[in-house]
Amino acid sequence: MTTAPGQTKSLYRHYIIEEYQLQKEPFYLPVHDEVQVFETAYKQKLPVLLKGPTGCGKTRFVEYMSYRLGQSLATVKPKGKGGAAAAAGNGKVGMPLVTIACHEDLTASDLVGRYLLEGQETKWIDGPLSRAVKTGAICYLDEIVEARKDTTVLIHPLTDHRRMLPVEKRGEILEAHDRFLLVISYNPGYQNALKDLKHSTRQRFISLEFDYSPREIESKVIEHESGVPADVAMNLAKLGEKVRHLKEHGLQEGVSTRLLIYAGKLIAGGIPPRRACQSAVVWALTDDAEVQRSIAEVVATIFA
Amino acid sequence: MQPTSEPGLPEALHRFPKTVYTEFQKGYDESSKRLAPDQVEAWAKAGVEIAEHSFRSWESATEYFRASPLVLPKLNFEQLMLWAQWGRSLAATSPIVSSAFFRATPEVLDRIPPETIGQWAGLGKGLYRSTWKSSSLAATFFESSPKLLQSVSLFEMEELVVFIDALAQKSYDLAAECLVLADSVFTKVDRADRKAFLGLASALARNNWRDVKPYFEHAPRAIYRVEKSQRPRYLALADRLARVSGVNVVTFLNESADALAEISPEDHAEMLGLAEQLAGAAPTAVGEFLRGLPTVLDRVRGEQLVQWFDEGLRLLKENEDGGMAFFRLESGRSEQLLEALSHGINLERVKEVLTMYCRALAGQDVELQATEILKERKIGWNSAEEATTEGSNIYLPVFIDRYNSKAENFSWFKVISTHQVAHLEFGSFAFSFDRPSAVYAGREQRHTRAPIVEGRHAISDLQRFFDSFTDRRLASDIFTLVEDGRIDHRVTVEYRGIAPAYRRVQGEAVAGRPAPNTLPLREAAMELLVRLSLEEVSPLAVPKAIALQLDAIKQVMRVMQSPLATIEDTAEATIRLYEVISRLPNVLQPDPEDQEQQGMEQESNEPDMEQLEKMLQDLMAQMSQGAGQPDGEQQKYESPQKIEFRGEFKPELVQALEQLRDKQKKGQGELDTKGVSPQDLKQMLEQSVELDLTDGQEGDLDQMAAAFVDNLMNQVSQEQQQRSGQGDHFPHVPDDDAPLSAKEPQAYLYDEWDFRATDYKPRWCRVRERRMEEGSTDFFENTLRTYSGLVSKIKKQFEMLAPESMRKIKHLPDGDEYDFDLVVESIIEKLAGDTPTDKVYWRRNKVERDVAVAFLLDMSASTAEAVDESRRQPDSGDFPDDPRDYMAWLRNRREEMSRRSYKRIIDIEKESTVLLITALEAIGDHYGIYGFSGYGRENVEFYVIKDLAERFGDSVKKRLDKITPMHATRMGPAIRHAVAKLDRQDARTKLLFLLSDGRPQDRGYSREGVEKEYAVHDTRKALIEARQKRITPFCLTVDRSGHDYLKTMCADMGYEVVTDIHSLPSRLPQLYRRLTV
């Protein structure tokens, strides 16, 4: 059904979802001991909850960990010929990572699987969660609070000692592969009564709190990711720090590392710094003219 | 000579009372000395003729004879006869007048030439109109003449009489009064202006004679305030206005002169020119124009002023009310135009932007405020012009107009606020005595220095530090310069973007400074330190005697440029510089030519601390020996000239404040040994050079320090209160048109709509937001119990609203999932040969509620009325306009209320709110509940019962309990404030629900206090503004006569009049449901 990369010459690359692995080590600078905690949790088969504001590196962290765990464990032998060929290319790949972006229309079937009609018959198709459970991937449910509560309940049996996924429609129970790990993330920032994590869900995970990195680390990240010189990266990190002070004083969220990297990329691409920050930071953050002007003044103070 | 020799005459006099004869005899003696016999005879005859003229004219004759001896020396015979003749003819009219005439003559003759006596007499006679009153006026004229003529010429007197005559036609009493006043008035009016002054007076006498007296009383002072050469012009203008109805000249003079006095005299001519121009178009606007001038001229001049003026003129022709408001500076257009034309920047305008800017840089909740506020608190900061900080907030001057462009002025604002923020960001106030320095690590000297006074308890670390210097002022000056220099350097390094603006300001600061070689040596060294701290690099002529010291200062300052340097390093640098500079005698360089050019650039390589310390020691040793130091007279040390952009820096005070704040936070203990005692504080204040206690009365140092201690303590406890949201201020009533400011926290200014002028009155109303006090939860619980049936019904209704959104919809051509029953059906149909249905999908209904709603409860006094008709007291709904009456009225009302046992409108409002809350909680909408009331435009109170972002809980229940009728109903600003809150919400549907019991009304919420439409129109405008922000307003009133004004107020918006107030609790949730589905 799906063609693995390299098999045919196509204009794009695509992977079977559970076979997607990182080929290269993602760049990640640990701030504290989060790497050790995560590794231990993985070994002890404890599901992990990542908390933190948008764009602070939660997803990157999961990618990095999937790669790292892939290195320390025996290399997974992916199913399918193409996948094997690709993996055999360098032998150094991460473990499979299944990322699911949660949204309010995400249904149980979207996760577990559904019947499709094929001719006169129905055919069962596994959903991404089922696949991850079967193959032993890290399943990363991003922005879990966006999913409806009835959907979230579905993952409960996977998160305790049972480690299993009931597939109601087929009358089956899937037992999780040994390597399987469930990771979810959410952003407590725009928390409100309706979009909060239920306690029955939340207390099934160990939590790692993320925040924007300190100026020094963030500037290294920006430097690495965007390719700007160190001093520019430092100024961007400084800008980040200053703008984050405005959280709750005009801004709902501080500026993300991601946006700062974008700004860096624009600068690296030849856009003058003030203009780059205007596009990537000032206008991106808010529509309020006064707040925009204030941030623009901060930008003008930092960048010549 | 014997009188008997003229037998006829005395004989005739014997017929009159004896005094006549007595006086005659006295006069006769004198006249016989001066006149020929026949002349004496003529003189006497004239007297007799007067006496015989009419029934009481003997009195005049008496005066005639009595005055004669005094007059004789001054008049020749003909003149004397003429005088007598005048007297006789006056006696013909009235003996009183004639008497007054004679009586006044001797003195009058001292002032006017004798030949003009007829002229003078004629003036008096002219006032006589053959009535009793006119005779008394004429008499008054003569009586006041001697005094009057001291200040007035006869010629001017003629003018005065013309005026008095004109006035007399309206009121004799007033005319007489003015005559008496005239002399004191004229002494105050310059000779050159008198004609115009009287001309205007006559004009007034004709048109508005009642104004004449106030005019007499006030005008001289007014005229005096106008520039001399412009006074005739000014009076001519007033004259012109006096002829127009609707202008009160006296008010005009008073106000316009006050305004003119505030602006520079050189501008008077130009401004009067504009005023004249305006007088042609709209005389009534002239006063407004002149009154606003001081404000306007602060912002625009010359070309721009004319532009602004022309716009106003144009507007006047279009819409008179609008034009008037324009010149009154009560219109948005006027404000905007001024803003656009002006180069200057008001703090108010940039406050928000700069506040956020400062918060971003500082990383703490700094507020930006006007420096005046800090000054008013009297806690040690005395300047209203200089930027400063007291450790938590930043204070800036209210208006900046240094440069000829807005951009440059803003840049100045930015630089001065950056400097203050940098104090916070880079820890100027975080000095710790025990924390090691960074660049001077391991070389600290402060620990080994002995305090000057042993055993004193220092409040703050800085005080402890400064305690080790004999010359505290010098130490403090050095400390300030080093620290400011460190901060500024850090800013320009850390913030490259602002560096150019900073350099410019630094450069300008250097420009006006005294040359070091003109100063005594110690001050010269300080001046060099100033320049180094400003990073001034151009070479400078330096007295040779301090060349070595300069080198040392340079190196110490170079060290401070290290990015590592902290406030503790500043302290170390201060010690070293102090040791060098204090050893310099403050004497003038003996030979001013003995100087050398010195480069001021700093070396680029990192300084070697070892070498620096050694060099300083050598220098000190050398100086102690007195080598190369000139002798001369020691001069008193003067602190270096201030550097404007740096404002005031008072670290010692800030640290003391911090200590107090800490103490306040920890506990309320009045005195504790470890913390700050008032005595310690007082001692510190007396010691510190940051507080200029000597400014006031000498000798009261003790008292003043004590006052400062009180103020400081108050300051801290107030801050505490503000943080906890307490602190009640009772409304104060400002002048009617004074501009408002929102300097205090939680105060917001809003425009108000003037429908006549079709323009906003800018920043017209002040809304004070505060949390409602908390009572008990009983009210809430009781209401739920009382209405338990309704509650569960409402709850059910609302809960049903929510699940609707999740319902499955089947039989769809596409959707989330197959409905397997339908799929099977379809397959069967197909197999059976039918056309299979393709509607085999289902999906969930995706209607999602995303509602934010703000409820505005009217808490006006009228909501205290009983619901029950029979108990309703007659109440006009109006309340006294005068604040004092109002307070009395309020007290009565409150007393009445406390005795009540009936249900009031507000109670029903509250109950309805309770029910609504349960409904809203069931459905999960975002909602805020607010109450509003107030008295006057400067005190619109906005009570938060539940903020939009707040969660429902016990405190909300408790606050609900405390809702009670307060003052008036100024709806506009309350709506605008609620709209501003809603506008910040991120919801698809936004609602503003206004619950009131009557029309909007408030003191001054109408024009001239009569037009009720004013309030209605403003409210309507506020509702329209809400709609423009995609907020749906809805008005609900329990006022049965509500239809008439609600129709205007909410013409095309939703409103409802609830006729039976008892239905409100059930009606409100119902309405809400209908509105939001």
- Dihedral class, residue B850 (left if φ above 0, else alpha if ψ from -120 to 50, else beta): beta
Position B1025: which residue type?
E
**Nearest-CA distance from A111 to chain B in Å?**
13
Question: Most A CBs within 10 Å: which of B345, B351, B357, as the mutation test of the A interface?
Answer: B357
Among A249, A294, A304, the residue with its CB nearest the CB of B499 is A304
- How far, in Å, CA of A195 to CA of B811, rounded? 31
Give the 3-state secondary structure of residue B363: coil
Three-state DSSP state, B462 = helix
Q: Which chain A positions have a beta carbon within 8 Å of B363's beta carbon?
A: 241-242, 245
- The whole-model pTM stands at 0.66
Q: Tell me phi and psi for residue A45, to 5 degrees.
A: 60, 45
* Token pair in block for residue B981: 């809150």
Q: Backbone phi, then psi, for B996, in 5-degree steps?
A: -135, 175
If DSSP codes are grouped into helix, strand and coil, which group holds residue A67?
helix
B877 or A209: which carries more pLDDT confidence?
A209
The CA distance from B1075 to B801, in Å, is 13
Q: CA A161, CA B87: separation in Å to the nearest integer?
A: 132
| Tokens, residue B512 | 């006006």
From chain A, the residues in CB contact with B815 under 8 A are none
At B696, is the secondary structure helix, strand, or coil? coil
As a whole number of angstroms, the distance between CA B678 and CA B709 comes to 7
Q: Which two tokens stand for residue B553?
A: 């200062």
The pairing of beta strand B841-844 with beta strand B808-812 = antiparallel
Question: Using only C-alpha atoms, what is the Rg of chain A?
Answer: 21
| pLDDT at res. A193 | 43
E-assigned strand segments in B867-971 = 926-934, 940-946
d(CA A46, CA A30): 20
Q: What does the alpha-carbon distance between residue B257 and residue B262 come to, in Å, rounded to a whole number?
A: 9
CB contact under 8 A, B497 and A293: no
The residue with tokens 């006296």 is B250
- Indicate which of A191, A246, A301, A302 best probes the interface with B, i.e. most B CBs within 10 Å of its own CB: A301
Residue A252, min C-alpha distance to chain B (Å): 10
Structure tokens at B707: 């006052």
**Amino acid identity for residue B55 in this structure:** F
Closest CA to A51 of A180, A120, A179, A144: A144
Q: In a 3-state reduction of DSSP, which class is residue B182? A: helix
Interchain pair A294, B363: CB under 8 A: no
- What three-state secondary structure class fits B441? coil
Decide if B335 contacts B739 (C-beta within 8 A).
Answer: no
Measured between beta carbons, the chain A residues lying within 8 angstroms of B418 are 301
Residue B1021 and residue B753 in contact, taking contact as beta carbons nearer than 8 Å: yes
Instruction: State both tokens at B976.
Output: 């605008």
The amino acid at residue B446 is R
pLDDT at A104: 75
- Kindly state the tokens that stand for A79: 């199913």
CA distance B273 to B267: 10
Contact B260, B268 (CB under 8 A): yes
Q: Nearest CB to A120: which of B363, B827, B951?
A: B827
User: Which residue's structure tokens are 């009535």?
Assistant: B131
d(CA B87, CA B121) in angstroms, rounded, equals: 8
Tell me how far CA of residue B308 lies from CA of B296, B402, B409, B1011, in angstroms: 9, 21, 21, 30
Helix (H) or strand (E) holding A138: strand A138-142
pLDDT band at A73 (very low <50, low <70, confident <90, very high): low
The one-character DSSP state at B748 is E
Mean pLDDT of A247-254: 78
Q: Which two tokens stand for residue B978?
A: 């609620």
CB atoms closer than 10 angstroms to residue B950:
16
E strand segments, A53-105: 97-101
CA distance A225 to A258: 9
CB contact under 8 Å between B360 and A193, yes or no, is: no
CA distance A254 to chain B (A): 11
- Confidence at residue B592, expressed as pLDDT on a 0 to 100 scale: 66
Tokens matching residue B74: 């001054």
- The four Cα atoms B339, B343, B346, B347 give a dihedral, to 10 degrees, of 130
Give the span between the Cα atoms of A111 and A166, in whole angstroms. 12
- At residue A84 the predicted structure's pLDDT band, cuts being 50, 70 and 90, is very low
Q: In the prediction, which pLDDT does A218 show?
A: 92
* Minimal Cβ distance to A242: which of B360, B365, B498: B360
The tokens for B844 are 């969930």
The answer to whether the beta carbons of residues B908 and B1061 sit under 8 Å apart is yes
Strand spans (E) along B976-1067: 989-996, 1032-1037, 1054-1057
What is the rounded CA–CA span in Å between residue B1077 and residue B1071? 10
3-class secondary-structure state, position B78: helix
Q: How far is CA B974 from CA B764, B931, B943, in A?
A: 13, 9, 10
Find chain A residues with C-beta within 8 A of B816's C-beta.
105, 107, 109
Asked if residue A39 has pLDDT above 60, the reply is yes
Q: Where does residue B423 fall: left (phi above 0), alpha (psi -120 to 50 degrees), or beta otherwise?
A: alpha
Pairing of strands B595-598, B399-400: unpaired
Q: What residues in chain B have per-residue pLDDT under 50?
A: 1-5, 7, 669-674, 696-698, 724-736, 803, 870-876
pLDDT at B470: 86
Pairing of strands A113-118, B989-996: unpaired
Q: How far is B637 from chain A (nearest CA, A)?
A: 38
Contact A115 B818 (CB under 8 A): yes
pLDDT class of A49 with cuts at 50, 70, 90: very high
A109, burial (CB in 10 Å: exposed 0-12, middle 13-18, buried 19+): middle
The set of residues, in sequence order, having a beta carbon less than 8 Å from that of B434 and lying 6+ positions away, is: B461
| Maximum alpha-carbon separation in chain B | 168
pLDDT, residue B2, reads: 43
Query: What are the phi and psi torsion angles at A286 (to 5°)?
Result: -155, 160
Asked whether B632 and B588 are in contact (CB, 8 A), the reply is yes
- Kindly list the distances between the CA atom of residue B337 and the CA atoms of B53, B329, B332, B341, B762, in Å, as whole numbers in the listed order: 76, 11, 8, 6, 12
Helix (H) or strand (E) holding A223: helix A215-226
Per-residue confidence (pLDDT) for residue B847, from 0 to 100: 59
pLDDT at B482: 92
Using DSSP's 3-state secondary structure scheme, residue B778 falls into helix
Q: What is the pLDDT of residue A25?
A: 84
- The residue ranking higher by pLDDT, B1029 or A255, is A255
Q: Exposed/middle/buried for B1073, CB within 10 Å: 0-12, 13-18, 19+?
A: middle
Token code pair at residue B765: 């109303």
> Cα distance from A273 to chain B (closest Cα, Å)?
10
Q: If you count them, how many residues does chain A have?
A: 304
pLDDT of residue B671: 44
Q: Which helix (H) or strand (E) holds B668?
A: none
For B751, the 3-state DSSP assignment is strand
Neighbouring-strand partners of residue B994: B856, B1035
> Cβ A297–B353 below 8 Å, yes or no?
yes
For helices B212-224 and B191-207, what crossing angle results, to 10°? 150
Distance from C-alpha of B706 to C-alpha of A248, rounded to nearest angstrom: 40
Strand residues in B965-1014 grouped as ranges (E): 989-996
